Amino acid sequence: MKSFEAVKHYFNRAADKLELTENMRTLLLTPKREVQVQVAIEMDNGELRTLIGYRVQHDNSRGPMKGGLRFHHEVDLDEVRSLASLMTWKTAVVNIPYGGAKGGIAVDVSKLSTRELERITRKFIDEIHDVIGPDTDIPAPDMGTNAEVMAWIMNQHNKYHGFNPGIVTGKPVEHYGIPGREEATGRGVGILTLKTLGRLGHKPKNTRVAIQGFGNVGSHAAKFLQEADCSVVAISDISGGYYSKEGLDILDALKYANANNRSLEGYSAAKHISNEQLLELDVELLIPAALGGVITSENAPRIKASLIVEAANAPIRPDADDLLTDRGVIILPDILANAGGVTVSYFEWAQNRQFYHWGLDRVRQELEHILSAAFEEVWALSREHDVSLRTAAFMLGISRVGRATVLGGIT
Ligand code: GLU
């Protein structure tokens, strides 16, 4: 099943419960606009390279469209479309005044120099500057992009449209960004994980955790959960998995990765395992925090965790989702679990518009407040309708977007 088909599948399951008509489903699922542009650049060695850039603007009934920019070699239009749609439901679940969008370029950033990355970013903005804006569509970081890339986006967009830091979020703190944005997605995963554990009657100290991915999201989630007394027994990156039965020292692993070009390659304080083995470890909690589609109907039967928190977008394929849910595994879905990032993006954007500065304590407090409220609503809905947390989250998101669409007038 392709990526957008998968989102459609979850959407329809929730839409059945909400008894939405076929026409309403088509209206809510169809993206408003899909832009595909040529990004031609000169590489450092003088070679010409032509890339394709995408921006899918899915829905704006609740506010300007919002979503990250992904630079990854597997990016294609179908994936960007599915991620844009997930952003629509995500912003609605946490009830922040945004719609959903996503962008991407199919490129392997690990093979680019910083200058090449900057040229690609600026050229992409040259091509799409007139379809994005602080009141229409606001990009942010995603896989393969970071605060530095966001600073280039702001600078390039401002050349066409004048100074406006609210054009993009996830900027460096020293350059119109907000403290706590970088940690926000991982921290949000941590906050929501603790809430779920509490609701299920699991104590953090009896919870062994395996986290796939040790990038921005995975590493902050690992740190937060270790500080909360969970035992993080495994982490991983593209160099493989690192496992310790007694629990890893996350600060030590972070120090190692930071000194080693952000890679865990060669980390010897733990046993080396594969990324596949990590998913199947004997743990209570599994957090996929890397690529989409890593849990399939093939490996799902071997997964031992009783709770899975989707820090990545769409890490579980729909057929695996069914197998796991039937077995009683609780899944905290991406559109709630990783919504901390876009929530703090909202704070950054609001601040940029007011030229008012929030400190880290306030950011963390407001983040917790918004995520907790969303968690309570999704949990209550899942109990009330006897559905999974994923279906409940989709029901909440879809009903908010549907209501705003009708109130705004359809034709
Ligand atoms: N890329 C992140 C996500 O998938 C953040 C988006 C944003 O901050 O706008 O939620």
Query: What is the position in ligand 1's atom list of the atom closest to the CA of 69?
Result: 1
3-state secondary structure of 371: helix
Query: What is the position in ligand 1's atom list of the atom closest to the CA of 83?
Result: 4
Our answer on whether the CB atom of 345 is closer than 6 Å to any ligand 1 atom is yes
Q: 329 near 353, Cβ under 8 Å?
A: no
Please state the pTM of the whole predicted model.
Answer: 0.97
Instruction: With a cut of 90, say whether residue 288 has pLDDT above it.
Output: yes
Q: How far is CA 316 from CA 74, 81, 274, 332, in A?
A: 17, 17, 18, 11
Instruction: With a cut of 80, say whether residue 411 has pLDDT above it.
Output: no
Interatomic CA distance for residues 351 and 177, integer angstroms: 9
pLDDT in tens, 13-45: 999 999 999 999 999 999 999 999 999 999 999
DSSP for residue 262: T
Q: Show the CA angle centred on residue 35, arms to residues 122 and 12, nearest 5°.
A: 130
**In testing the pocket of ligand 1, which one of 335, 345, 352, 370 has its CB within 8 Å of the most ligand atoms?**
345
Q: Which of 314, 324, 401 shows the shortest CA–CA distance to 60?
A: 401
Q: 100 near 91, Cβ under 8 Å?
A: yes
- Give me the domains of the chain, ranges plus CATH numbers: 31-175 (3.40.50.10860), 184-337 (3.40.50.720)
Mean pLDDT of the chain: 97
pLDDT in tens, 355-376: 998 999 999 999 999 999 999 9
Instruction: With a cut of 90, say whether residue 410 has pLDDT above it.
Output: no
Q: For the chain, give the percent of residues with pLDDT over 70.
A: 100
Q: Identify the bridge partners of residue 286 per DSSP, sorted by sequence position.
A: 210, 308
Structure tokens at 182: 């970088």
Q: Identify the bridge partners of residue 342 per DSSP, sorted by sequence position.
A: none
Distance 185 CA to ligand 1 centre (A): 8
Our answer on whether the CB atom of 66 is closer than 6 Å to any ligand 1 atom is yes
Q: Cα dihedral angle (248, 249, 252, 258), rounded to 10 degrees?
A: 60
What is the model's pLDDT at position 331? 98
pLDDT in tens, 81-110: 999 999 999 999 999 999 999 999 999 999
Distance 234 CA to ligand 1 centre (A): 25
Instruction: With a cut of 90, say whether residue 151 has pLDDT above it.
Output: yes
Distance 142 CA to ligand 1 centre (A): 6
What is the model's pLDDT at position 136? 98
Residues serving a catalytic function are: 102
pLDDT in tens, 170-208: 999 999 999 999 999 999 999 999 999 999 999 999 999
